[in-house]
Amino acid sequence: MDKIFRVNMTDLTTTTEEVPLEWVGLGGRALTSTIVASEVIPTCHALGPNNKLVFAPGLLSGTAAAQSGRMSCGAKSPLTGGIKESNSGGTTAQQFARMGIKALIIEGLPQEDKFYSLHVTKDSVTISEESELIGKGNFAVIEDQMAKKGDKVGVMTIGIAGELKMAAANISVKDPDGKIRSHGRGGMGAVMGSKKIKYITVDAEGCGPLQLADSDKFKAASRVFAKSIMDHPVAGEGLGTYGTNVLVNILNEAGGLPTKNFRYGQFDDHDKISGETMHDTIVARGGKPKHGCHKGCIIQCSQVYNDKDGNYVTSGFEYETIWGMGANCCINDLDAIAEADSLMDDIGLDSIETVVMFGVAMEAGILEFGDSQGILRLLREEIGQGTPLGRILGSGTGIVGKVYGVTRVPVVKNQGIPAYDPRSVKGIGITYATSTMGADHTAGYTIATNILGIGGHVDPLSKVGQVELSRNLQIATAAIDSTGMCVFIAFPALDIPECLPALIDMINARFGCELSGDDVTELGKSVLKLERQFNLDAGLSNKEDRLPEFFKSDPVLPHNAVWDFTDSEIDEFWNF
C-alpha cells in the first residue's frame, strides 16, 4: 500500500498517512498541485508557516519506462505568488515510487533558529539537527552525504541561496552520477530554506522493483514507447547529440533568440555558444556529449562539459542557461557560461531566473553587457556571500527591476521570461502569459510546432492558431508532468501515432485501470484549472496574464515583430 509521509517542522514530528481515495489516481504535478490547492491558504506568505512543500513522484516513476524518472515539487511560490510545480530528474522519484511514497508533505516552520535535515526510508522520515553543512554549497552536501550514506543515496539540497530564502533559489538534486539536477523554477529552494531544511536524503535500500498490475502488457507498451522516442528525429537524435543547446542556431535563424535583454532577435556570436560548438568542444576535451538526468533516460540531452584541461565543469548544461548568459547578456564565452552554470548549481540558483536577471542587472548598470567575469564575480562574491547586492540579484529578475527602477524587465507573474522571444514566436508568448507557473517555456512548449515542425506547423509570426496551440500543449504537458515523464516525450507524442497510446497502456498496466486518451486530457485540464483557481484565490487575476509592455511597443529585429495580442484574445486561452 502506498502512503503519504507528512513532516511538521513546527513541532518536529512526522506521521505516515494512508493515501486519500481522491489522490490515489494522481501523481507528479497533478498530486503536488492538488495537495497545495487543497491544503495551502492561497493568500498565505510563501515563506511563512502556512505554506507547504510537497514532493511526489509521477504515476510511472519507479517503473522501467523510459523517461519516467521525474520528481515533482510543489508549493506556493515566493517568486510568483502563485502555485508552483517544478520537476527534476535525479534519483528520488524512482526511490520514492519503489518505497511506496506517494508524496512527502512538509509543513510548518521550526520555532528555533536552527537548520535540520530529513532522512527518508520506506518506513519513516527522520528529522535531525544540522549544523556542519550550513553555509556549504550543494556539491559539498552531496559529496558529504554520499560519503556518509553511500553512493546510492538520493539527495535534495539547498545551497546558500535557499538558506537565505532568495526567491531564485532552487532545490538541487543529485543525479545518478553524483552531479546536479534541479527543481529549478519558482523559488522552491527558498520554501525549503524557510522550513530550515538544508537537505533531504533518501535511502531505498531493500526495496524491490515495483509490482505492476500487468507486467507483460507493461513491457510490451514500454518497448513501443521507447521505440517511438528513438524514432523521433529531435528526441532520438538531435537532443542526444547537441543537448538542448541545439536550439541556439535554430532560434537565431528564426530571429527568436533574445539578445541584449530582449532588444534583438539574433546574436552575432551565436556560433560561439551553439550546440554544435559545444558538442565539438566536449568531444575534444574528453567530456560526454550524452548523459541522462535519471536512470532509464534514453534521450540523453544532458552532457559532461570539461574545461580546457579536461576537468569536469558542469552537466545539465541547458540551452536556456547558455542563451541567457550568452546572447541575452552579449557573452560569447562558453567556458565562462559553463563555469557560471556550475556556480549556480553550487549556490543553488535557478539558472534561468538568474541569467534573465543578469540581463536586467546589465540594463540597470550594475555591470556591462558582455562582462562574463563580472557575472562570475557577482555569483561568487555577492550572491554566494549573501551581501545586500547579492540578495537583490538572488531575488530574481523582477526585484532587480524594481530596486533599480528598470522598465525593460522580461517577467510574467514576476518570473523571468526564458529563451524564446514572444514577439517572433508568438505561441510561446501565449504560454508565458497564461501559464499558471509564470513565464515558463516548458509549460506549453509551442517552439515544437512554431519552429521545429513537430506536431505540424503554426506560423510563429502570425497570431492565428497560437492560443489553441498553447492550450493543447499546456493541457498535454500538465498530464505528462503527472506521469513522471520528461517533457520531451511530447515530441514523439505529437508526431508518432503509437507513442501516446503506449504511454496510456503503461499507466493502465501499472495500475490495472482503463484510462483512455480522453481521461488523460481531462486530467491535464483539471490540473490547469485547479492551479488557475489557486492563483485567482491568491490574487493573480487575468491582469497578470500579460507580457511586459515593452514587447508591445518595441519591435524586434529581424522581423520587426511586436507582441500584438489583445487582452481578450489572451483570455480566450481559459475557454475550456
User: Where on the chain is the footprint of its own copies (CB under 8 A)?
Assistant: 41-45, 47-50, 78, 164-167, 190, 193-194, 387-389, 391-392, 395, 399, 402-405, 407, 409, 536-541, 543-544, 546, 548-550, 553
Q: What is the DSSP letter of 378?
A: I
Nearer to its own copies by Cβ, of 208 and 365: the residue is: 365
Smallest gap from Cβ 318 to its own copies, in A, equals 27
CA-to-CA separations, 338 to 238, 332, 334, 341, in angstroms, rounded: 21, 11, 6, 5
Nearer to its own copies by Cβ, of 553 and 568: the residue is: 553
Do 458 and 447 touch, CB atoms closer than 8 A? no
Q: Tell me whether the omega of the peptide bond preceding residue 558 falls within 30 degrees of 0, making it cis.
A: yes
Nearer to its own copies by Cβ, of 276 and 537: the residue is: 537
| Separation of alpha carbons 185 and 411, rounded Å | 13
Nearer to its own copies by Cβ, of 370 and 386: the residue is: 386
| Separation of alpha carbons 476 and 530, rounded Å | 15
Do 338 and 273 touch, CB atoms closer than 8 A? no
Smallest gap from Cβ 563 to its own copies, in A, equals 13
Instruction: Return the bridge partners of 8, or none.
Output: 13, 107
Report how far apart the first and last C-alpha atoms of the chain are (Å, whole number).
35
Nearer to its own copies by Cβ, of 515 and 536: the residue is: 536
Smallest gap from Cβ 360 to its own copies, in A, equals 13
- What nine digits make up the cell of 427? 505561441
- What nine digits make up the cell of 340? 557560471
Nearest to 116 by CA among 16, 3, 11: 11
Smallest gap from Cβ 431 to its own copies, in A, equals 19
Nearer to its own copies by Cβ, of 232 and 532: the residue is: 532
Smallest gap from Cβ 422 to its own copies, in A, equals 16
Smallest gap from Cβ 121 to its own copies, in A, equals 31
Nearer to its own copies by Cβ, of 114 and 308: the residue is: 114
Smallest gap from Cβ 385 to its own copies, in A, equals 12
Nearer to its own copies by Cβ, of 208 and 388: the residue is: 388
| Separation of alpha carbons 404 and 400, rounded Å | 6
Q: Is 452 left (phi over 0), alpha (psi -120 to 50) or beta?
A: alpha
Smallest gap from Cβ 164 to its own copies, in A, equals 7
- What nine digits make up the cell of 58? 509521477
Smallest gap from Cβ 297 to its own copies, in A, equals 35
Do 171 and 188 touch, CB atoms closer than 8 A? yes
Nearer to its own copies by Cβ, of 386 and 501: the residue is: 386
Smallest gap from Cβ 96 to its own copies, in A, equals 28
| Separation of alpha carbons 387 and 351, rounded Å | 19
Smallest gap from Cβ 231 to its own copies, in A, equals 45
Nearer to its own copies by Cβ, of 189 and 289: the residue is: 189
Name residues whose C-beta falls within 8 Å of residue 377's C-beta, 6 or more positions apart in sequence.
Answer: none
Phi, psi of 266 (to 5 degrees): -140, 150
Nearer to its own copies by Cβ, of 168 and 479: the residue is: 168
The DSSP result for 147-209, as a single string, is: HHH-TT-EEEE--HHHHTT-TTB-EEEE-TTS-EEEE-TTSHHHHHHHTTEEEEEE--TT--P
| Separation of alpha carbons 83 and 530, rounded Å | 10
